Amino acid sequence: MSLFRPAWKPIAASLALGASGAALYTYTRRQETFDITVKTKGEDGKRVASTKTLPLHPMSDLDARIRQNATAESRARPGITWKHTTASLASNDPIEDANANAIVHRDADDPAAPGDLLFFAVMDGHSGYNTSQLLSRVLINAVALELSVLDVKPPQPSGGVLNGLKSSLWPSKPTPDVTRDKLQSADPQTVSAAIENAFVKLDKELIEAPLRVLANNLDSDSWKSKTVPDLSQHPLALQTMLPAVSGACALMAVFDTAHQNLYVSCTGDSRAVAGVWEPSTSGEGGAWRVEVLSEDQTGRNPNEIKRVRSEHPSEEAPYVIREGRILGGLEPSRAFGDARYKWPREVQAALSEAFLAGNGRSMRPPPSSFKTPPYVTARPVVTHHKLSLPTPESPSSSATPSLRFLVLATDGLWDELSSEDVVRLVGGHLAGLKGSISRSDLQARIPTTSGTPTVDGKSASTQERRAQDSTGAFWAFKDDNVSAHLIRNAFGGADEPRLRKLLSIPAPYSRRYRDDITVTVVWWEEGQEGAAQVEKLKAKL
């Protein structure tokens, strides 16, 4: 992008002679502008580069935009206060990201009580917002439902025809299974499998919904003639098709305070990063250990390359993943929706004709190398991590390492910041830093260590650009909301000229320079129940 044009120039001057003969001048401030390179279609249909001049927005407007969608909540529980913030900033119009959260307090008669289940999720949509918005409404419910049956046993059928009929008409409720030596909800392997199952079943429902609508509306004549009816005006036409053909990555964290467990479930290339406080041996100070709790599931992840190739014939190996993308197109190797990579070719054609053609829409045809679908799955990788949360009976120890905060963010954040950057920025924010701080100074004030190695699925050019941007720049500590704080620093921090340019680029041009970003930060503080705002939410799990 070019340098700024002159910021102050009079574009109008008026001269008037008053009684005293004095000359009065009126100056108007000229709009600041900057240039970007855009690609447009030429007369021959080919894309050519051209220069576009854009207005440069004032910093006050951009401050308001960074904070516009920022929220913060505190929930007091025995011995601990949970805090979480979320913020988002759009590049697409409308934004294709979404998020959701819920805190469920176990009933007293729950076998796993006392304790809570806390759910936090971010969704990164692509090819539209339909899938991510749907997931924001139903994904947590789907997982909570799967977990709710772990510690209950189904009613046993009674003998006799009459009793069997009565039980079918008035089924009795499942009862808590308190006879087990160990509750299933305390077993990380069982819980991880339940979360994985919920993701898979939900995507199956999403993908099959248009097929069921079509099947239910095929009459005998259509079956015989093998013609596809026009269902474009059916009330479920776009409601089922758009979430299926659009796509979304999903990242969820589930905190189980009853059993001191954390589960991170990742489908796609959003990322979860934890800050683990490691006190020094002297008892003074310490460092933040950077623990990345998920792998970027892209065609650049060696584990994903191996998995995808193993699911298809060997002759497809050269092109099933090409240039880090599925069949050379889709970057995340796991996602909800994305029926273009899941439905057989003939099913795509039939459903597009039935539901989309009459609405002036169509599905993009599958890639030419599309042969043995599905190529994309919503099956998540679920990881378990042990927590050391304080309780009234067992306060935390400042002498032992403990996970203190968790950051969940869509890939737009990780395009700009490394996991180490994010942990330092959150650590500095929680320490109360204010103002502009050089990157080297922050590293000295908020030291970090590396945790378990993980896979960065970003391209080499993105990783190189991040490394270059990290030299000589200054971070900004000016936002009270820690999620908004991360978004500001992703786009320039205290380098306001850079930040102003990036955030002044409107859609659709902005997508070449930045992605949608959604960030949720969760942390907890000990013994501050009185200062928190309590929201009561009671449900039986």
Distance, in Å, from the CA atom of 244 to the CA atom of 246, rounded to the nearest integer, reads: 6
Residue in this structure with the two tokens 């310490």, named with its chain if needed: 286
| 49, 69: one domain | no
Distance, in Å, from the CA atom of 389 to the CA atom of 383, rounded to the nearest integer, reads: 18
For the segment 495-529, what is each residue's pLDDT rounded down to a tens digit? 999 999 999 999 999 999 999 999 999 999 875 43
SS3 483: helix
Beta strands in 285-430 (DSSP E): 286-292, 321-322, 325-326, 336-337, 381-386, 402-409
Distance, in Å, from the CA atom of 60 to the CA atom of 221, rounded to the nearest integer, reads: 64
Residue 157 within any structural domain of the chain: no
- What global pTM score does this model have? 0.87
For the segment 474-488, what is each residue's pLDDT rounded down to a tens digit? 999 999 999 999 999
Tell me the chain's radius of gyration from C-alpha atoms. 27
Q: Among 56, 86, 103, which residue terminates a domain?
A: 56
| 249, 191: one domain | yes
Query: What single-letter amino acid sits at 416?
Result: E
| 208, 328: one domain | yes
Looking at 115-119, 172-176, 327-331, which range is the least confident one? 172-176
Whether the predicted pLDDT of 424 surpasses 50: yes
Distance, in Å, from the CA atom of 488 to the CA atom of 499, rounded to the nearest integer, reads: 8
263-282 average pLDDT score = 94
Q: Is the peptide bond before 373 cis (omega within 30 degrees of 0)?
A: no
Contact 108, 247 (CB under 8 A): no
Contacts of 256 (CB under 8 A, 6+ apart): 115, 117, 185, 191, 262, 263
pLDDT, greater one: 531 or 190: 190
- Report the DSSP beta bridge partners of residue 267: 250
| 283, 192: one domain | yes
Q: Burial letters for 357-391: b for 16+ Cβ neighbours within 10 Å, e otherwise?
A: eeeeeebeebbeebbebebbbbebbbbbbeeebbb
| 248, 293: one domain | yes
Q: Where are the alpha helices (DSSP H) in 108-255?
A: 130-148, 161-169, 188-216, 220-225, 237-245
Distance, in Å, from the CA atom of 304 to the CA atom of 114, rounded to the nearest integer, reads: 39
User: Residue 174: which pLDDT band, with cuts at 50, 70 and 90?
Assistant: low
| SS3 readout for 428-460 | HHHCCCCEEEEHHHHHHHCCEEECCCCCCCCCH
Helix count and strand count (H, E) for the chain: 15, 21
Domain span at 387: 60-151+183-531
Q: Among 56, 81, 99, which residue terminates a domain?
A: 56
| 45, 64: one domain | no
Residue 169 within any structural domain of the chain: no
Q: Burial letters for 195-222: b for 16+ Cβ neighbours within 10 Å, e otherwise?
A: bbebbeebbeebbebbbebbeeeeeeee
| 227, 127: one domain | yes
Residue 160 within any structural domain of the chain: no
Whether the predicted pLDDT of 537 surpasses 50: no
pLDDT of res. 173: 55
User: Residue 470: which pLDDT band, with cuts at 50, 70 and 90?
Assistant: low
| 447, 527: one domain | yes
How many domains does the chain divide into? 2
CATH number, domain containing residue 79: 3.60.40.10
- Report the DSSP beta bridge partners of residue 253: 120, 264
| 76, 51: one domain | no
Residue 165 within any structural domain of the chain: no
Residue 387 within any structural domain of the chain: yes
Q: How many CB atoms lie within 10 A of CB 6?
A: 8
| 217, 293: one domain | yes
Distance, in Å, from the CA atom of 145 to the CA atom of 113, rounded to the nearest integer, reads: 17
Residue 71 within any structural domain of the chain: yes
Q: Among 56, 79, 99, which residue terminates a domain?
A: 56
Looking at 165-174, 299-308, 407-416, 531-540, which range is the least confident one? 531-540
| 38, 128: one domain | no
Residue 374 within any structural domain of the chain: yes
Residue 161 within any structural domain of the chain: no
How does DSSP assign 366-377, residue by residue?
PPTT--SS---B
| 527, 380: one domain | yes
